[in-house]
Structure 1
Amino acid sequence: MAQIYIPARFNGPPGTGNGGYVAGLIAAHMRQAGVSGAVEVSLRAPPPLETALELVVAGEGCECRHGEAVVVTARAAGPLGPVPAAPSLEVAAQGRAHFPPVEDHAFPGCFVCGPARTQDGLCIFTGKPHGFDGVTDVWTPGGDYADDAGLVREEVLWAALDCPGAFAVGFRERPMVLGRIKGQVARRPEAGAPLIVAAWHLYDDGRKHGAASALFTADGDLLAQTEQLWIELK
């Protein structure tokens, strides 16, 4: 039995934990328990903030519980699909100019993509550039997101790969929330270096939308990737 705790800073929609951040916390625990490779995390209910949540890891799966309620489940998963070649740093930087303004953002206080969080958020503002079929931005993680070895923490990398997927499938026009995310971190980068964030559309099925995202070094080396299921709000 273990616990995870989501500080209020790391929110997604108001009053709940950012889905990617929560998934990364759980994936890190599963890796410590001996699970290798990709992890698939399903959000069953909005993860509460400022609350100790019980994490039960059994074999290659786990449940995250708030009292008797199951909030998140996770399991070891098969390999993720191929990713496209990384856009150049110059192309990726163009995406930010096409990010929606604060008045058009459904969750402007989101830790990852909220334009109202320029002081204490990740400020990953992905938009469509010229030269890449998806959305992009350049992100330089600060030292406060690193561990004692200077490497960016796993939960922060998962968070950085969360919201870009929503913008790749049309979050601005149809607000949605994360239902499932499957991811794998190949290598954690050092804080302080610019990274390329990219995401692209996979499919649409009614109110369900599929996206994928990836994090690259400035030279285009793949660091981490995810595949996501987004649920359009009614």
Structure 2
Amino acid sequence: MELVVPARFCGPPESGNGGWTSGHLARQVRTTPELPAVTVRLRTPPPLDRPMTVREVPGEGVVDGAVELVDGDHVVAQAWPDRGPGREAVPGPVPFEVAVAAGERFEGLADHPFRTCFSCGTGREAGDGLRLRPGRLEEDEAYACAWVPDTGVDVETVWAALDCPGGWASGIAGRAMVLGTMTAQVDDLPVAGAPHVVMAWQRGSEGRKHLSGTALYAADGRLLAQAEATWIAVDPTTVRPAGATR
């Protein structure tokens, strides 16, 4: 089958938003009660407005249900069912008003590498992008952002909402990083027009790898979705930003 990333869902102006693209591909993965989540590994920048092919991953030793997204001869991303991110260390949500206040400390307001980003771009119009503003909590290392979804909330939008806050919590401000791998489990979709909170936190680092966790909560405190991601710090002078770069 074919899959297209419309230009509206960009990260950098020329390539797809990593979270939205990953969520779009994740729809093609068959999950089970034992494997309720999906892991997506981005390999190259997802092109915009160009049909790509989704196919089963060839070769032996491949996880059942694994698929890959192919642009001509190039593998853009691979995805497979997963047990999901661990829930034992997930911080609970802060009140919506606290998340709104944290947004005033969003580092992207002063310096944003990709103002067009569908998830957190400061150059997007209301109703066109998510316009997330993840900011550090005053007495905590975690980040939080307030989100009131517009109409048409879907799985791709939830993956996009879980994506960028993790990058900012991992220290993306002032340095180039790309999203390498993202594992997400979406238990329920948010309600359009209702207040929600996205929490983000660091899970450690090793060399150029930076690990993040994110969680989406409803106003009543229910955990709707959760993700873990691996971000890779890169040299912006030698590496073209990937589709999930922020």
Common fold: TM-score over 0.5: yes
Q: Write the letter of the residue equivalent to 2:83.
A: G
Equivalence for 2:141? 133
Write the distance in 1 (CA, Å) between the matches of 2:143 and 2:150: 22
Write the distance in 2 (CA, Å) between the matches of 1:32 and 1:203: 28
- Residues 130/26 of structure 1: CA separation in 2 closer, same or farther (3 Å cut): same
- Is contact 1:91-1:131 (8 Å) kept? no
Identity of aligned residues (%): 41
Write the distance in 1 (CA, Å) between the matches of 2:192 and 2:28: 22
Q: CA deviation at 1:140?
A: 0.7
- What 5-or-longer segments of structure 1 have no aligned partner? 147-151
- Is contact 2:30-2:81 (8 Å) kept? no
Write the distance in 2 (CA, Å) between the matches of 1:94 and 1:196: 12
Write the distance in 1 (CA, Å) between the matches of 2:229 and 2:30: 20
- The structure showing larger relative contact order (alpha-carbon pairs under 8 Å, at least 6 residues apart) is 2
- What 5-or-longer segments of structure 2 have no aligned partner? 58-63, 236-246
Tell me the TM-score normalized by structure 2: 0.86
Equivalence for 1:80? 85
Pairing 1:14-29 to 2, within 5 Å after superposition: 14-29=13-28
- Is contact 2:188-2:224 (8 Å) kept? yes
Q: Write the letter of the residue equivalent to 2:214.
A: S
- Is contact 2:31-2:38 (8 Å) kept? no
Query: Residue 161 of structure 1 aligns to a residue in which SS?
Result: helix
Query: Per-residue displacement from partner, 1:30-84 (whole Å, max 9, x unpaired)?
Result: 1489995011000000000001110114632001000111110011112311211
- Is contact 2:30-2:65 (8 Å) kept? no
Tell me the TM-score normalized by structure 1: 0.91
- Is contact 1:176-1:233 (8 Å) kept? yes
Write the distance in 2 (CA, Å) between the matches of 1:109 and 1:47: 15
Pairing 1:203-218 to 2, within 5 Å after superposition: 203-218=204-219
Equivalence for 1:70? 75
